[in-house]
Chains A and B, each alone.
Chain A
């Protein structure tokens, strides 16, 4: 029986483990955190249907309840390489390398080490960590989760401003790519704010609104039609603090061609997705590191789960920014590829 290791117990890793387990393949699932699914359990509701994030996480977690799956939490994988590089002589009968995962040997490894949110401190001109009213989209999600949206002095905000493309499509951060899901997340969060605080004004500053997925465009329309969210086409170039701890922002209203300034209680920065530390380190270690620290598959169309390392597969947002739906599907696809290769 071949030994299979899956690195990362996020949606892609869990889904792959579940498919393999259902096909009678024992798998070991490594997770560096205390719990699986840490990037879902901090969310409130999920786009585009406002599904309860806890319910989705519980459904995914239930898939781990299978005797073929061994989940090892608090286990960070710091070493991943083919055994012949690692100084081992053993190779299995078919001649494919044996992968050394920390100190153990596995025949097949699935890298599903995911993403990490962009650190908004790096965009100093937007004032994150400097002015109390500037938050990231993750902090806003937490406030929505706790049903308590407040400004720095604990009052309900009268105005909330969202800014897209923070750390994405940005030469200065070294990230040329689009993180793909911030657009719809801002629309979702603006709706959530209006649901909790109907009197609060909400603004979304955007460069392009990329409503590419099923029901995304409808959500955008709902935000305009039913919730009165205001969309302004222009990038906020700087944010400053006011004496009463609000945030003063500057942008150009590019559709009117005039500079615009406004004061808001909260400024929410829609942070993009970057390759996680594990993704960077491990893909570097086994020579599949692609652009921006993401792992690279053999071919984006025809061979998106295999890599140039034999027996080494990739799934989920360790390859590129991905939605939950895409990550789950990708985990399933990787499991099929692994089953074919066995």
Chain B
């Protein structure tokens, strides 16, 4: 098949025309403060797990809101591995928008497990 020495690459772009909105809607319904994020990164800066691993809590929930569920909690993207979170809750303390960040992680894990 690979006769010509090249293959067709899969597009990298985030495709908001496709993708399942259902999980996103469920997350918003359970953790409404999810939508208030202004992306300041305070949570990631203070994250205990993020100091030593690639885990980036800000990115995880943005990936979720862009329906990139298959990127979360896999080996493919270490920064989006929700299992790295130790649920210490420091992120919630510093969030200027009062987002329930810890609840968000728990809920994302549950939704992805039951997907």
Contacts and interface: CB of A to CB of B under 8 A. Distances in A.
Interface of A: 125, 165, 169-172, 207-208, 233-238, 250-254, 257-260
A258 B40 CA distance: 12
B65 interface: no
B38 A234 contact: no
B46 A250 contact: yes
Given A250-B45, A259-B45, A234 B94 contact: no
Q: Which of B38, B41, B97 gathers most chain A CB within 10 Å?
A: B41
Given A125-B94, A169-B96, A235 B79 contact: no
A254 B47 CA distance: 14
B39 interface: yes
Contacts of B97: 169, 171
Interface centre among A171, A233, A251, A252 (most CB of B within 10 A): A252
A254 B38 contact: no
Nearest to A173: B96
A251 B96 contact: no
Interface of B: 36, 38-47, 50-51, 56, 58-59, 79, 93-98
B42 to A, nearest CB: 4
23 contacts: A165-B96, A169-B38, A171-B36, A171-B95, A171-B96, A171-B98, A172-B95, A233-B41, A234-B41, A250-B45, A252-B40, A252-B42, A252-B44, A252-B45, A252-B58, A254-B39, A254-B44, A257-B56, A257-B79, A259-B44, A259-B47, A259-B51, A260-B45
Nearest to B95: A171
A207 B56 CA distance: 17
B45 A237 contact: yes
B53 to A, nearest CB: 11
